[in-house]
Structure 1
């Protein structure tokens, strides 16, 4: 059965959801993270298969992984992982809940989709293609079966299996073979049919074919044989879609015909331009011709009614527009027998019926709570699942250890790091006993253990564990596998927390370069490491360079994730920090005002990130000498953090100190002294008298005493701090 098959001991195949020329797509469960995913497996070639073709298919699949993993946009299917399991190449993607456009048409008995849906799909596809083309990626096989409308209405482009990087044409030409045109006849551009140069405008033509079909119910050249379809694309003007469906808006008719122009230069110059045309058309709902773009040219009838069919198209059939997925219980010998022979053995038998069913239901509920961010409730739910699985399956069963790992994650997110550490350590030890020290799941648990050690301030221990995990990752996966690079990123982070700033900066730069090579410069993980590069530069006092890095990261995140995404907003905050450190406080003030407005709109006035933006605003008001305004902001931040975090939280204490600074500059020294003393006493109670933050707070208190003329008390406090520093070395 498929549900006994594991890829690399992590991805459990559940049921078949699609089959194509390159292999199969399975619904699967990521046992490490407890989420459902889609796994695409490249069908291996048999012993008698042509070796060159087999190599080409495998190379195309690897290219799909590299191209797709580099794309991070809500309109493109997310790729989580890729690898090779006993000769079976696989790609792990998000599991989409929805229907592809071909299925939507079938669901509608072949009738076109509602006009409003066509307009919305067109707008979303234009935005997604604008992003992919700006990453130098051409899809080359855009068709209804490769476009999914999810249940929430999001439209996603799938299957970059024959996409190519625009700057890497030569490599892909070797893969596909000279003279072999890739694509699906109903949606191929004229230049693709002729084997000519392809760029982004070929995708725009294919998009025009897709929009024509969902707007009218049939593709523009829905003819009986491949020859007629190809000649139609190359030489025949399409019938205007409005002629088949009168209620189509005039602008949409013009957009589709412009996309179907025979010559690339007669189409929109880019998907970004197309998106603007669609947006303007939807707003104005006008039937005026598009500016600067001719309508599709009249057809060119072939002499004598015949044209030679291109050599590559001989024997080619149009095929069905979309093949339905086979039923999940249909066995497929290529995967369920030969493909899986030699993989890790199946887990031990399931628990007795009802108890096992109850545990699965509890696990699903725990994951639902986690997905909703209800971490306190999720912790208790995961704890019940862990205990139940340990009782029924045994403490070292892989499912029990997965539950323990998930419990550790929930505890960490709930801020209960000590308890999370205990769960991760138990999960790692159990996985090492059952799976071995170098198994990916064992290394994952060790890496999370290191992360929590860092959160607890035990950076030396975290660094040692990251070093060990990295050695294992490199040995089993290679130096540039995404999981290896993730560990290298964490190691760079830990170096910074150990004060080894130059090493941290160099390591982060190396990881960022490697991630850019493997995943692409705009990939979310690449940008996370670039963000860490900026942090290291700031700690080294290289603020001009830090500003450049943070600005680039903010821009890239806005493009790929959206202006309101938390990662984009975080990069904008750090950009403001850099501006302030460079003495450019007016610019920082402008940035923080805009950021504060966005944070308030998205999270409310007492969201922690809103308060953080307000804190940055207040600091820069103070740098500009606008102390009454700075104090007002600091007091708002202090009050909000006291309510949300409590009076003893470190961030609350930072806000209290900032208020004290403002009071001092306003000459209100008695109030400033009270605030400084409260900060020092709280930190001493929580951290101990010799902690560096406590000593800094006591020195603030001493300077405030000097301003009040209490010189002897100030001198005594200075001596006390100096003695503690000397004793601690």
Structure 2
């Protein structure tokens, strides 16, 4: 392979950027798509193996690679392709711009990382593991070298499935001894007790390994850091770890408890799953501990070796552990060249964009300390976003963007990255107009610096289309989505996850344009492609199938929509759990379908259950809980139980007004539902007052010719008719008709 430098006529190997026991990692160029990738070449399958064994191994490799390629999460390295060339199995992955945790510790001379960074890394890794464990995938070899922190602060886990492949291929004499009695592949410093003993390995083994990783980045050394491998293994099996705060007192007590729970010898004593762990870490971050430590690196003494560990006599050693040595600790394969002598210089690289795009005035080079501080503040802003604190996150991103523009220039990629993130926070705060302005600015800058078809440029343009849709500007959104989709198709191929995501959004937008058959057809195509590439039960596949259900409902094919939503709900229950918000959302839509089909008694039972489940999972004031209560009231009315429907609508309206505000669209929907119930009860004067209240609010917020405002004015006219005030009703109908004509003329 090294002689040809070209794999399967497509991947041109450019330079080796890592080497380890499993093989080599190369920076390469995908000649078909013209993009940079990382290619991991596993060790050759030599002639010492029988052909039947090699066939089984190849099939195992394909299976493991498909599983890894199906993992789609911001915390997991993306697998683009896999195959075999000249007896060498290879994986093609995204090329990451960052440093793995082992390298970060080495850059820092084995001093621990700052506390905010430790907690931020822990929270992101836990989120990624929670996702993979829900998919039934266990890493088995989690260690600092397999966790990358990118230059934007994001954290990714690498090498899912690789540990088992390495076991099958047979990497070295040491690993042969380790696996000779069935012990799972792993690195001694991060192996769980059940791995060491060759016992049953499940997701809780990953949690133990994560505990070892967090212990190391928080204190500067793993929990059992001895030179002799057997001493390390005995430490994992028999010796309680030294509490972290004895080594580093400023660590939050809660964090120490979490790590020690992860390091429990008995798997049953560890957190039950990574989702539970993630919730605890989020709670810790929200408590403020993650921001109480200054950003300057504290002076912490390196952790001493555990000289107090009493080693058993040699006869007790199992045969597979005799004469085993750890060698030098793994430093990871890394996807970047060796770091510069100044470790902070790698935080923000030199700008190499086109000369024409650079500002005329050459800015003085900022100091490494300034760049490091900006990177830390950027990461802190990202962490606030992950906690849902969007206003704080947006303010922090804007401050970093302004500072980066001052010291680096308006079109520096780091400045544009901060603007992009600031725009994202505005979108999440329900400020699409402000987000649109920022996204457009980021997209224009990236196009100047990186080119129109660069993935970062396309990402900013796609988000521009999304907020255009939020603003109801669906024609403009369609144009942008179509252009981005063409570029992604050209650069990445039709089945790339980013291409499919864009096609999904385009299908959604077609529905909002009223092009329902096209929307349905495209959503079906995307769902089929995602099922083929990612699997039928993958969350992204189910999201698109959910959209298929919506399109079917818009086409009044409610029976088909009901069947689709029920299938999505069942699949989500299997993979995510019965009380997951996405599972409940699919069941909610199934209830809507039942109501539309006239099966209101069934719908009523479903919504009663949903109200109870959402109250327990999300709280009684949560918007989703209130939506379920609203639909419960609607179906009470459909069954003729109008007094109960009126009471339910009033309760929901009061809570929505308190939680969402008096003029929020959902509050106004509840207010209208009160009016509907009053009308059915013959209380037309009260109903008229409510309808007018809704009409005035919608006119004030949405404009006089908005469809919802016009509907409310028509409701008001109907009330006037019921009260015998025909002259007023006719005049109001005339005004509504004139506004509809004006709107239709403007829309041509």
> CA, structure 1 residues 389+131, in 2 after alignment: closer, same or farther (shift >3 Å)?
closer
Give the equivalent residue in structure 1 for 2:372.
357
Counterparts of 2:433 and 2:723, CA distance in 1: 43
2:452 partner SS: coil
Give the equivalent residue in structure 2 for 1:488.
503
Q: How does 1:435-514 map to 2 (within 5 A)?
A: 435-514=450-529
Give the equivalent residue in structure 2 for 1:347.
351
Q: How does 1:296-335 map to 2 (within 5 A)?
A: 325-327=329-331
Listed one character per residue, the Cα deviations across residues 529-588 of structure 1 (whole Å, up to 9, x for unaligned) are 111101100110011111111111112112212222221221121111111111121221
Q: Is the 8 A contact 2:18 2:335 kept in 1?
A: no
Counterparts of 1:473 and 1:626, CA distance in 2: 53
Give the equivalent residue in structure 1 for 2:313.
none
Match of 2:699 among 684, 689, 695: 684
Q: How does 1:458-607 map to 2 (within 5 A)?
A: 458-607=473-622
Q: How does 1:180-195 map to 2 (within 5 A)?
A: none
Counterparts of 2:447 and 2:481, CA distance in 1: 16
Runs (5+) with no aligned partner, structure 2: 1-16, 28-36, 83-89, 103-129, 148-156, 170-174, 185-193, 209-236, 239-267, 273-319, 341-348, 353-363
> CA, structure 1 residues 630+477, in 2 after alignment: closer, same or farther (shift >3 Å)?
same
By how many angstroms is 1:414 displaced?
A: 1.1
By how many angstroms is 1:323 displaced?
A: 8.0
Give the equivalent residue in structure 1 for 2:124.
none
Q: Say if 2:81 is the partner of 1:66.
A: no
> CA, structure 1 residues 90+510, in 2 after alignment: closer, same or farther (shift >3 Å)?
same
By how many angstroms is 1:336 displaced?
A: 9.3
Q: Say if 2:110 is the partner of 1:90.
A: no
Q: Is the 8 A contact 2:69 2:80 kept in 1?
A: no
Q: How does 1:381-460 map to 2 (within 5 A)?
A: 381-460=396-475
User: Which structure carries more relative contact order (alpha carbon 8 Å, separation 6+)?
Assistant: 1
Counterparts of 2:199 and 2:62, CA distance in 1: 29
Counterparts of 2:95 and 2:494, CA distance in 1: 20
Listed one character per residue, the Cα deviations across residues 107-129 of structure 1 (whole Å, up to 9, x for unaligned) are xxxxxxxxxxxxxxxxxxxx999
Listed one character per residue, the Cα deviations across residues 165-194 of structure 1 (whole Å, up to 9, x for unaligned) are xxxxxxxxxxx99xxxxx97766899x9xx
By how many angstroms is 1:525 displaced?
A: 0.8
TM-score (norm 1): 0.63
Counterparts of 2:179 and 2:513, CA distance in 1: 56
Listed one character per residue, the Cα deviations across residues 234-273 of structure 1 (whole Å, up to 9, x for unaligned) are xxxxxxxxxx99xxxxxxxxxxxxxxxxxxxxxxxxxxxx
Give the equivalent residue in structure 1 for 2:262.
none
> CA, structure 1 residues 492+582, in 2 after alignment: closer, same or farther (shift >3 Å)?
same
> CA, structure 1 residues 353+386, in 2 after alignment: closer, same or farther (shift >3 Å)?
same
Counterparts of 1:565 and 1:331, CA distance in 2: 36
By how many angstroms is 1:528 displaced?
A: 0.8
By how many angstroms is 1:360 displaced?
A: 2.1
By how many angstroms is 1:376 displaced?
A: 1.1
RMSD: 5.1
Counterparts of 1:130 and 1:364, CA distance in 2: 26
By how many angstroms is 1:643 displaced?
A: 1.3
Count of residue pairs brought into register by the alignment: 533
Q: Say if 2:669 is the partner of 1:654.
A: yes
Counterparts of 2:437 and 2:21, CA distance in 1: 45
Q: Say if 2:161 is the partner of 1:160.
A: yes
Match of 2:41 among 43, 52, 77: 43
By how many angstroms is 1:21 displaced?
A: 1.1
Runs (5+) with no aligned partner, structure 1: 1-15, 27-38, 100-126, 150-155, 165-175, 178-182, 193-202, 218-243, 246-274, 280-315, 338-344
Counterparts of 2:649 and 2:406, CA distance in 1: 53
Give the equivalent residue in structure 1 for 2:734.
719
> CA, structure 1 residues 719+96, in 2 after alignment: closer, same or farther (shift >3 Å)?
same
By how many angstroms is 1:682 displaced?
A: 1.6
Counterparts of 1:332 and 1:535, CA distance in 2: 42
